[in-house]
Structure 1
Amino acid sequence: MSPSTPRTAPLSPPYPPEIQTQFDRIMRGAPPLMLFRVMAGHGRAWDKFRAGGLLDPGPLSLRQREIVIDRTCALNRCEYEWGVHVAIFAGPAKLTEEEVRATVQGDAASACWSAAEQVLMAAVDALHHRATLSDEEFTALSAHYDEAQILEIMLLCGFYRTVSYMANGLRLPLEENAARFPV
């Protein structure tokens, strides 16, 4: 099996009508991602994945959301999902090249981040490395984010860690138009 072949075969078009409708809703008319095509071939896993997907906007701004997702994927060395998100959302989220690079090569102290974004990056790092937030980290988050936003941060970190496990474990080939980790 080559590194460009996923370990689980993806669905091929034409897709069953219900799956096509789901792809259309998620992808807004673009071709479905390899991750979705693999997951959709397994009904229970696909249903669970979509149910926990956090694909709606939620209480965070697009910029905050993408910082959380990009950092989580970078910490998990998931170039597949990081690259998809950077390609699709970095522009609309107004993330600069320096900020995108900092999600992979930087940390919470990187000068490109605002004070609130530094706290956000520190929270993602803490959740990744320790699966918890210290009282000080929670207090710092609370100074910039409300309870609903803090819950969303934790949910996004957990969900995109799972997505990273899926993409890395299934050895999904990188999407053609996705960004690549900075060298």
Structure 2
Amino acid sequence: MKLQKGFTLIELMIVIAIIGILASVAIPQYQTYTIRAATTPEIVGAVRPVQLALSEYAAIGQALPEAETDLVQWATGEAANCLGIVQNVIYTPADEFSGVITAITYSAASTVPSCVKAGAGPSDEPTLQGVTMYLNAFSNENGAVRYELDTATSTGAGEFPARFLPKIGDKPQVVTP
């Protein structure tokens, strides 16, 4: 009696089907991961100066600035600093203990500053063009500031896609593909 050597055709087809299923799940996740890894440093780098200025202001004054002009450590309109995909960062105070940091990305039709060779301009990912990310700032009476991504606002039409939101602030992020 001969011993069978090797695999049957059906066994090979099953293995190929399993590899195909795994690849169909892994490739989109990998693409999301690479886009997020490329854009997160630019977004965080654009927002961080505002966060530091707010934290410094709150530590000294025990509250957040009630007017944008009170925040002399930082000025809105930082686009001239070549912030990658971020066109502008704006701080809007709500009251003495809260405010919103807004980061707006370049759209495909945006006028890009002269630093385009330094990497400023619209993202290669179309869903990240011309969208807005909202970061809420909350201060207590002791001057401690915490930041939370506004995921409720960031999921509307034309807003920052949830799967590309950076891990910034105190609230843990639930990111769905």
- On whether the aligned pair clears a TM of 0.5, the verdict is no
- Give the number of the structure whose alpha-carbon radius of gyration is greater: 2
Q: Considering fraction of residues, name the structure with more strand.
A: 2
Q: Which TM-score applies when normalising by structure 1?
A: 0.29
Of Structure 1 and Structure 2, which has the larger fraction of its residues in helix? 1
